[in-house]
């Protein structure tokens, strides 16, 4: 297990328990020592990022370095989350790398994601997340 500078936490935003379960295993397999936080939808995730409600304990809930974001979720979907994320104050955004992670085969989604690409959204990946994907992202955005 390796600790990575700036990656104390990875936030998984997905409503599907099975997917989150698999992703946790992938992160473990990649040998990254980090806290994995699951949010069931964009709204939950925002609460976590702004440390509201159940998430007010700073030490227990460190700021994530990577967010894996699903598109299709109840309450607040991936696109709505991106819109809301833009509005967050900078100290809550930090240096977070957001990667959109979706099952969608639709080219429209990819085009739409391209419009969001920039400071907030960095990557667009298709599910399932693989150890290689994860390692690539870590190598690209974090110093080891």
Partner 1 sequence: MDNDLAKDNLRNVRLHKIHTITGQLSIVAISIVTFYAILFYFMHIPLLANFSIVASVMAISSRYAWSRGNLNYARFSLILIGNGFVFVLCGSLGRQSGIYLLYFPLSCAILILYNLRQYIYIIVSMAITFLCLIILEIYDYSIFQITMPEASILNLMRGISVFAALIVSLVCVFSMQFAADKAENTLAQAQEELKRYAQKMESKNKELEQFSYIASHDLNEPLRTVTSLVDLLNERYSNELDNTAKKSLNFITGAVSRMSQLIKGLLDYGRLGQNAEIKLVDLNLIVHTVCADLASSINNASAKINVGNLPTLNVYETEIRVLFQNLVSNAIKFRNPGEIPEINILAEKQNGIWTFAVKDNGIGIDAEHKDKIFIIFQRLNDRSDYEGTGIGLAHCKKIIDLHNGNIWVDSVPGEGSTFYFTLNI
Q: In this structure, are strands 66-69 and 121-126 parallel, antiparallel, or unpaired?
A: unpaired
Tokens of 55: 């998430």
25/117 with CB nearer partner 1: 25
22/88 with CB nearer partner 1: 22
> Rounded distance, CA 11 to CA 62, Å?
10
Cβ at position 53, least distance to partner 1 in Å = 15
Site stretch for partner 1 (CB under 8 A), options 2-10, 13-21, 58-66, 119-127: 13-21
Dihedrals phi, psi of 50, to nearest 5 degrees: -90, 5
Burial class (CB in 10 A: 0-12, 13-18, 19+), 31: exposed
Scan for tokens 């976590």, then name that residue.
Answer: 48
Select the residue interacting with partner 1 from 74, 86, 132, 136 (CB under 8 A): 74
Q: Restricting to residues 32-71, which ones interact with partner 1 according to CB under 8 A?
A: 40-41
Site stretch for partner 1 (CB under 8 A), options 18-26, 53-61, 97-105, 112-120: 18-26
């Amino acid at each position: 297990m390796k600790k990575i500078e700036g990656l104390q936490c990875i936030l998984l935003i997905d409503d599907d328990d099975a997917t989150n379960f698999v992703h946790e295993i992938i992160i473990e397999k990649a040998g990254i020592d980090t806290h994995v936080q699951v949010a069931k939808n964009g709204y939950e995730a925002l609460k976590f990022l702004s440390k509201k409600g159940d998430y007010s304990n700073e030490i227990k809930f460190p700021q994530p370095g990577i967010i894996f974001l699903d598109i299709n979720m109840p309450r607040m979907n991936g696109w709505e989350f991106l819109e809301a994320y833009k509005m967050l104050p900078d100290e809550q955004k930090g240096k977070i790398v957001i990667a959109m992670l979706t099952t969608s085969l639709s080219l429209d989604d990819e085009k739409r994601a391209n419009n969001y690409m920039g400071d907030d959204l960095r990557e667009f990946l298709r599910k399932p997340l693989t150890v290689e994907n994860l390692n690539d992202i870590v190598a690209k955005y974090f110093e080891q």
